[in-house]
A = this chain, B = another copy of it.
Amino acid sequence: MYPDHLVKEFNDYLKEVMADYGAVPGILKDAMFYCMQDGGKRIRPIFCMLTAISLNKNFKVVLPTACAIEFIHTYSLIHDDLPAIDDDDLRRGRPSCHKAFGEDMAILTGDALFAESFNLIAQRQNAPAEIKVAVIKEIASASGAMGMVAGQFVDVYYSGKKLSKDKLYYMHQNKTGKLIKASIRCGAMICGAKERQLEGLSRFAEKIGLVFQITDDILDVTSDSKKLGKTAGKDSLQDKNTFPKVWGLEQSRQIAGKNIEEAIASLQGLDLNTRPLQEIANFLLVRKV
């Protein structure tokens, strides 16, 4: 069961944040608002908020960082959808940013959201300065040249070329895994997790990050564009390296199941309220969007 009440809380907070961008000029503002409006699963913010809850803290404490991470995720989708990269016209059930506002605006809108993500943490996150620096370091690493961009590079560069299983894992770990891991780790750092808790949550995060990407790959094969809100079947059309392609559909499902079990196991014995994270982990296996 997906925690829709937290999605609502997040979207309400996001509206408050977006109100700060009233002075952004013209259609740059329109494009930022268009891309950030309701519609996504907000799964990274949800992971961050659930981590706070698992540490018996109010999820509101981590909202600025959760929001910063959603800015980064959104910027990455905007740039990935560009004609020079994945060339995708549909996103969250609407025309993608460059279809709605033009390629130049899509590049700039992504750039703006990325910059503002760090601004958000620096300005709005309530935490000791040391923790804020640690959070920024975590997020910058996760989204940088040896993180998300590296994964995206491998994805683009090896489209149409055969990818080894190791490289497939590297690609997913970087493209999706590290930002999901950062969502959980940053939530934990802000909420004062002890070293052992942080380690356990990091292991949990790595495994569910992988499962998230496996199920994403599977849905691209088994679902349709209307349900997904983005173009289904694109991976195979663009000859992308995916889990179903490299491992087959059935074995991909098995790998996902095994990783969820291990993810849940890594939360045990850490004095955590594990139920919310367990629920979302199990949800990943059965998600339809």
Contacts and interface: CB of A to CB of B under 8 A. Distances in A.
Interface in A88-112: 102-105, 107-108, 110-112
Name the prevailing secondary structure of the A interface residues. helix
A29 B121 CA distance: 28
Nearest to A127: B133
A255 interface: no
Interface residues of A, number: 56
**How many monomers of this protein are in the complex?**
2
Contacts of A104: 84-85, 156
Contacts of A150: 24-25, 28, 112
Of listed A107, A134, A152, residue having the most chain B CB within 10 A: A107
B23 A152 contact: no
Contacts of A1: none
Contacts of A123: 137
Interface stretch (A138-146, A190-198, A275-283): A138-146
A108 B156 contact: yes
